[in-house]
Amino acid sequence: MKKLIIIIAAATIFVSCKSNNKNKADTTEKQRVGVVDGVAYHVDSTSTISWAGSKPMGKHTGIFKIKEGVLQVKDNTLTGGNFVIDINSLNNVDLAADAENKSKLEGHLKSPDFFNVAKYPTASFQITAIAANTDSTQKGITHIIKGNLTLKDSTKNISFPARVTIDDKTVAASADFSIDRTQWGISYKGPNNPQDWVISKTVSIKLNIVAAKK
């Protein structure tokens, strides 16, 4: 049994690294947030964060809603922003709405085994730096965004490519990247538990943010 667990864990790590490393966000320690100038565009309720997690037997996908947030714009350029994620809104979308295992999965992810929403009902992201994309091989990418991501009681700075469009009334931002959940202390029954080893550390994230000027 011990050998089987080791083999499955190794296979999981190999598959995860092979499929997700090219989109992996660069992660560093928390960075300082400077004073930002600009007009506030308020994030609206259609904005979502999609997630996908995997294990040897398959994967699950879902969404979080954004509780509130603003993106700041000056001279038609994104200068900063932040938003709050409603972790309690976690919703699995690959299982049928009336499926018993859907509610069990959502409850498990919200429990102290993972997000512990009773103690940490929200997460947050705060932009620390924005740069224009200069890599011509990244098609459709306009910016590289850096920001402090807080999950539970941990804050790390992440950097990822994004597409940002701005007009007189709205700002739209989208991104597709992955993070290592264990860097924020999200581990099933602890980081050294064999039951956590067979769950991929890599979680795929897709941002779809829309903000409007009021």
Q: What is the pLDDT of residues 55-98, one digit of tens each?
A: 877 899 999 999 999 999 999 999 999 999 999 999 999 999 98
What are the tens digits of pLDDT across the range 109-144? 999 989 999 999 999 999 999 999 999 888 899 999
Domains of the chain in sequence order: 2-213 (2.40.128.110)
What is the pTM assigned to this prediction?
Answer: 0.86
Rounded CA separation 67/36 (Å) = 21
The DSSP-derived string for 107-163 is HHHHSTTTT-TTT--EEEEEEEEEEE---TTSTT--EEEEEEEEETTEEEEEEEEEE
In this structure, which amino acid lies at residue 110?
K
